[in-house]
Structure 1
Amino acid sequence: MTPPTKRARTSSTSSETIAVDAITLSKLKQHESLWFEDGNIVLATDVHLYSVHRGVLARNSTFFKEMLELPNVGNTSISEVGSIGNGDSWEGKPLVRMVGDSDEDVYHILMAIYDSRFYRAQKPSTLPIILSLVRMSTKYDFPSIRDEVTSHLEPQYPTDLKLLKVRDSAHLVLDFKEEDDFQLLVVAEQCNVKAILPLLYLDCAALPLDDILSASEAVDLQRSSFLRILRGHEQLSKYTNQYGTLAFLPEQSCMRTCQSARIKLFAKYVKDPPKYAVHRLLLGNEPDDYENLRPSVCEICTKASSEALKAFQSEVWNAIPGMFELGTWEDYKRE
């Protein structure tokens, strides 16, 4: 049962401000699982009050360590330290207002530092938790949590072609959906999670144009990011056509049965190109066979096609960062 809320005691300021703040705080609920009776600091969102421990916050966050060392936390008139308001108290404990942070974000970061079972990089999590931890670990400098979330994300958006073949979104986010990439892209750019950006942009750009438009609008994507995705989408369309050309038309002249089969395969490919064609190329997959026409392709053309696709795979992979104005793969290896 949640204990009844109590009126906050604030230090001297205008009576009007005190009244408004007291009314606002009186509407907040003490969080059921993150209210420790032996806590010595209270964090306030627009929904909950969290009684936690100064030492735990300071040990995990450089920002909180420096902020909590200030002599006026909880003892001065309402002011701002970075994006955290301070100067109030609650039941004799300093009260810090988490200005600009959602209640969900504050809950997730506190759970991550208080409950070792809540989040681990090697276990699937939910997208809201991952986004919260990226935002909060960056904003308030929780280095160990940021490192852990980054190590969770990087294998799913690798900077090495060999690692692309072993990635599995099921190990990243529970019930992962294609449009989730756009939410992650917004946060990754805001928080400078640079390593995952090239593949993240690639995944976004590979969607059908209507899906790109609706997903971009849903997350209020920055115009510059949106234009990068559109330019990448256009380039991927060109690569998709080249993929089919190299797969089915490696030699212009050959025996009639082989040439006829390749022309039919190419025609069907152009009419209905596979979804994520460039991803298939990067994974080393050849286009699907249609109506069992592949056996009619001669050994010479099959070998020429495989060699051409392998070279094209390297070309496309090396072009990905530049496609989205993100430098080169060498830039990521140097970091």
Structure 2
Amino acid sequence: MDDSYIPIQDRKQHPTLWFDDGNIVLTTNISRFRVHRGLLSMNSPVFADMLSMPQPDRIEDGYEGLPVVEISDNDADFTHLLRFFYDHRYYQGGTETTFEKVSGLLRMSTKYQVDDLRTEIIAHLSLAYPSTLEHYMKAVDPDTQLPLFPPFHGQHFAVVHLARETDASILLPAALWRSMCMTTPGILEGTVDSNGTRHMLPPGDIRICMLTKSQIYKKLVRMESMLTKKGRLGCVRQQQNGGSGVAPCTEIATSSVINHFASPGLELVDDNDMFAEMKAFEKWRHLVCHVCRHAADSTLSSHRTRWWSALPLFFGLPEWNNSQNASN
């Protein structure tokens, strides 16, 4: 027998999930639960199949005269699932909870085919990792309060791990994008949360995020430069000057972009999110005339829409519709 094996009688009896009228004992490597076969079967087709097999009249290896089923799942994850079975208010989508509960329930609802719960949790996580650009812009707005879970360092990496583990493909494009927007040292070395836990991407995702970061930075520089030329033909200030020469707004914008990327001593942090902000653009946007500003805004909006449509492809993922189908 494995030296780490703990006899059933030595495992911790759960303080609330131990019912005197329960008719089956479930055990993890830490806890014992005395629960009800009917409730398990009603909530999960996996349990229904598992418990449909005939039980012997005499139980040699039971506990207190009851059949015992040993569960290989993580003790905390499985406890979350049982608590949900007994009270569906234990988890309610759209209300703030903890990442431990959300992740545990998503793993368990996937394994035990509790489909409604799985769908609700994925929808909950989609508040921060959505499939539409409109919802993404709300999610990254610093003034938005998401009823999700308290944010923590490394959470984007943790969500990527969770989405991979549970085949929640619809979460991956936004989660990988937000991971890619972390700094290079953060991607390569991981990030430590307040509890001292280091969160890292899977090795394959580290590679794809670094490759994508290089490509996206090139797109960023090209877009920052291109925006300076929008609106020049209708520039109000150029018309006021007789319509000849370089548009004044173009000169203002170009100078701002050059200063942004070339200022001596400027520390460039590679945590760029092109959907959330264009740092050079924001420096000159309010300085140009309304025609140039509107033309640049329209161009940027159009490009962001195309980038978002192609976002899954940046990371070698199926297109948005296919990701949605896979998650379901």
The one-letter amino acid paired with 1:310 is S
Label 1:73 to 1:315 Cα distance change in 2 as closer, same or farther (>3 A). farther
CA distances 1:147-180 after superposition (whole Å, capped 9, x unpaired): 2212212333222223323337853532212511
CA distance in 2, matches of 1:121, 1:47: 28
CA distances 1:213-246 after superposition (whole Å, capped 9, x unpaired): 2228944643322222222222222232233223
1:38 is aligned to: 21
2:212 is aligned to: 232
Deviation at 1:37, TM superposition (A): 1.2
CA distance in 1, matches of 2:273, 2:296: 16
SS state of the match for residue 126, structure 2?
helix
The one-letter amino acid paired with 2:128 is Q
CA distance in 1, matches of 2:10, 2:288: 74
CA distance in 2, matches of 1:74, 1:197: 49
Label 1:308 to 1:178 Cα distance change in 2 as closer, same or farther (>3 A). farther
1:79 is aligned to: none
SS state of the match for residue 32, structure 1?
strand
CA distances 1:112-160 after superposition (whole Å, capped 9, x unpaired): 2212332101111111111101111111222222122122123332222
2:47 is aligned to: 64
The one-letter amino acid paired with 2:208 is R
1:89 is aligned to: 62
Which of 280, 293, 308 does residue 276 from structure 2 map onto? 280
1:323 equivalent to 2:303? Answer no
The one-letter amino acid paired with 2:220 is T
Label 1:88 to 1:181 Cα distance change in 2 as closer, same or farther (>3 A). farther
Mapping of residues 102-181 of structure 1, within 5 Å: 102-167=74-139, 170-181=145-156
TM-score using structure 1 length: 0.78
CA distance in 1, matches of 2:93, 2:153: 21
The one-letter amino acid paired with 2:29 is D
TM-score using structure 2 length: 0.80
1:244 is aligned to: 224
Q: Percent identity?
A: 26
1:211 equivalent to 2:183? Answer no
Kept after mapping to 2: 8 A contact 1:198/1:326:
yes
2:237 is aligned to: none
Kept after mapping to 1: 8 A contact 2:228/2:250:
no
The one-letter amino acid paired with 1:42 is V
Kept after mapping to 1: 8 A contact 2:170/2:320:
no
SS state of the match for residue 29, structure 2?
coil
Kept after mapping to 2: 8 A contact 1:31/1:48:
yes
Kept after mapping to 2: 8 A contact 1:205/1:212:
yes
CA RMSD of aligned residues (A): 3.2
Which of 291, 305, 314 does residue 314 from structure 1 map onto? 305
1:182 equivalent to 2:165? Answer no
Label 1:155 to 1:214 Cα distance change in 2 as closer, same or farther (>3 A). same
Which of 257, 262, 265 does residue 256 from structure 2 map onto? 265
* Larger deviation, residues 172-181 vs 136-145: 172-181
Deviation at 1:299, TM superposition (A): 4.1
Label 1:331 to 1:42 Cα distance change in 2 as closer, same or farther (>3 A). same
The one-letter amino acid paired with 2:104 is S
CA distance in 1, matches of 2:160, 2:4: 38
Deviation at 1:295, TM superposition (A): 5.0
Deviation at 1:275, TM superposition (A): 4.5
CA distance in 1, matches of 2:291, 2:226: 14
In structure 1, list runs of 5 or more residues that go unmatched. 1-16, 77-86
Structure with greater contact order relative to length (CA < 8 Å, sep ≥ 6)? 2
CA distance in 1, matches of 2:270, 2:171: 25
* Larger deviation, residues 244-253 vs 60-69: 244-253
Kept after mapping to 2: 8 A contact 1:205/1:232:
yes
CA distance in 2, matches of 1:166, 1:220: 26
CA distance in 2, matches of 1:74, 1:163: 57
CA distance in 2, matches of 1:216, 1:234: 20
In structure 2, list runs of 5 or more residues that go unmatched. 193-197, 234-243, 263-267
CA distance in 2, matches of 1:73, 1:236: 63
Kept after mapping to 2: 8 A contact 1:74/1:89:
no
CA distance in 2, matches of 1:178, 1:34: 33
Which of 12, 15, 33 does residue 29 from structure 1 map onto? 12
